[in-house]
Amino acid sequence: AVVSTQSTGDRLWEMRNRTTDLIGNVYDLERGEWSDPMSGIGAGIDSYFEYLLKSYVMFGNENDLHRFNTYYSAIERHMKRPREGGDPFYYANVHMDTGEVQNHWIDSLSAAFVGVQVLHGDLETAIHHHALFYGLWLKYDALPERFNWERRMCEYSLYPLRPEFAEATYLLYQATKHPFYQYVGETIYTSLERFNRAKCGYATLNSVLSKKQEDRMESFFLSETCKYLYLLFDTDHPLNRREDFIFTTEGHLLRVDRFARERMNVLNKDVRTANISHLFTCETFPRTRQQTAPFSDEFWSQVATMINLSV
């Protein structure tokens, strides 16, 4: 299975655009060509980048790390779009051959890339990227499947209890120990209790606007969303005190052996002591100021303007 997966990865690497270093979203195996040349960090492609980095962590394959770094640089170069007149940014969906914007939406699955950025050690970028999704959560008490960043409005309003934002919040807390992320987790939990709680379980929202519930609860809500929220608040949980495992993209645990961990030195940017202005703990951070964020008020105001959020 590992050899087969590696062969697939080799083929995808060969099929990238050699000028932009981007890959598309859908590859037609029968015709041997890209049927959807849209490149992004969200649905259909998100786990690929995650597994390249985690494969290196697990197996120490230098090719996987090289490929991830190449893709990451390409993503930063071609997809990252700063808001005009401000610092907040988003990652646009672009054409793999040209880097030209293909549409004007970001999807909820792209929140998972924040966790990839944490693992990669690009913590400052992860913190500011996460702020965009936090703003969207405050706007809708959920994450819509798609948000149109040009029109600053929801484009596809379904919310199926996805775990990516909760996962990113948990991983940022683990990396920074900043209580702001526990406050974000509390905000997520409060919204779930208010709008998703049903007679038996938690329901998908047919629309984040109307808050109408569907008679459906995806399995990933229990296996991932609830798991990450639980671990976010149970700071003394044994898993939170170990560093010899990683989560799969579906929230399963994989143990990292000693030999693979020795190869992690290439990634070692010491994210626990990265350049953050505040590294508080819940015990020392005053309760009255626990909502203070690890970014400036000016930055947050710009995020709010970017997504048309009233603050």
pLDDT at res. 87: 76
- Higher pLDDT residue, 255 or 73? 73
Spatial contact of 144 and 156, defined as CB atoms under 8 Å apart: yes
**Across all residues in the chain, what is the average pLDDT?**
88
Q: Is the pLDDT of residue 60 over 90?
A: no
Whether 145 is a known active-site residue: answer yes
pLDDT at res. 58: 86
Identify the band that residue 5 occupies on the pLDDT scale cut at 50, 70 and 90. low
164 contact partners, CB below 8 Å, separation of at least 6: 108, 109, 110, 111, 112, 115, 143
Q: Is the pLDDT of residue 281 over 70?
A: no
Identify the band that residue 185 occupies on the pLDDT scale cut at 50, 70 and 90. very high
Spatial contact of 224 and 251, defined as CB atoms under 8 Å apart: yes
Highest mean pLDDT among 193-197, 238-242, 298-302: 193-197
pLDDT at res. 263: 53
Nearest alpha carbon to residue 142 among 81, 194, 240, 208: 208
Q: Is the pLDDT of residue 3 over 70?
A: no
The one catalytic residue among 145, 164, 167, 224: 145
pTM above 0.85, yes or no: yes
Identify the band that residue 258 occupies on the pLDDT scale cut at 50, 70 and 90. low
Identify the band that residue 84 occupies on the pLDDT scale cut at 50, 70 and 90. low
pLDDT at res. 270: 41
Q: Is the pLDDT of residue 288 over 60?
A: no
Paired tokens of 257: 């052996």
Spatial contact of 207 and 158, defined as CB atoms under 8 Å apart: yes
Q: What is the average pLDDT across 157-164?
A: 98
Q: What is the average pLDDT across 287-310?
A: 82
Least confident range of 59-63, 87-91, 264-268, 279-283: 279-283
Q: What is the average pLDDT across 201-213?
A: 98
Identify the band that residue 107 occupies on the pLDDT scale cut at 50, 70 and 90. very high
Residues 267, 214: Cα–Cα separation, whole Å: 43
Q: Is the pLDDT of residue 286 over 50?
A: no
Q: Write the pLDDT tens digit of every residue in 162-177.
A: 999 999 999 999 999 9
Q: Is the pLDDT of residue 1 over 90?
A: no
**200-224 b/e with 16+ CB inside 10 Å = b?**
eebbbbbbbeebebeeebeebbeeb
Identify the band that residue 259 occupies on the pLDDT scale cut at 50, 70 and 90. low
Residues 87, 132: Cα–Cα separation, whole Å: 11
Q: Is the pLDDT of residue 290 over 50?
A: no
190 contact partners, CB below 8 Å, separation of at least 6: none
pLDDT at res. 311: 77
Least confident range of 73-87, 124-138, 215-229, 294-308: 73-87
